[in-house]
Copies of this chain bind each other. A is one copy, B any other.
Amino acid sequence: MPKPPKQVFVCNQARPPNHPRGSCQGKGGNEILQAFWGQLQARNLWEKFAVTNSGCLGPCDSGPNVLVYPEGIMYGGVTKEDVAAIIDEHLLGDQVVERLKVPESVW
């Protein structure tokens, strides 16, 4: 696997039901991850970016969280419906998806 131009980390941290911090997995992390992996494969985008599941990225309240490097852009409240926008606008088009970006106070 050559070094990808961009790498997406999708938080899929789990916590027990009713845990006060909640969790990205509890808010749909798995679905988001599957949507990224699904489009990566269906659209043959392996040379454009990599997608990796991760543990807690920090701002649990803003989750589900998706982090894109090397830019270090954190998206919050992501749904599986947002995945195509992150791919098309940011990962392929190099434009940050401002509507999904968490505030600077958060990250």
How many copies of this kind of chain does the complex include? 2
Q: Which of B56, B71, B72, B104 makes the CB contact (< 8 A) with A52? A: B56
Q: Which of B53, B70, B74 makes the CB contact (< 8 A) with A69? A: B70
Q: Inside 8 A of A9's CB, which chain B residues have their CB?
A: 9, 52, 54
Q: Which residues of A12-46 have CB atoms within 8 Å of chain B's CB atoms? A: 12
Interface residues of A (CB under 8 A from B): 1-3, 7, 9, 12, 50, 52-59, 69-72, 74, 104, 106-107
Closest to A71 in B: B70
Q: Inside 8 A of A12's CB, which chain B residues have their CB?
A: 55
CB of B54 within 8 A of CB of A55, answer yes
A to B CB contacts below 8 Å, 20 in the list: A1-B58, A1-B107, A2-B107, A3-B72, A3-B104, A9-B52, A12-B55, A50-B58, A52-B54, A52-B57, A53-B54, A53-B55, A54-B54, A54-B55, A69-B69, A69-B70, A69-B72, A70-B70, A70-B71, A70-B72
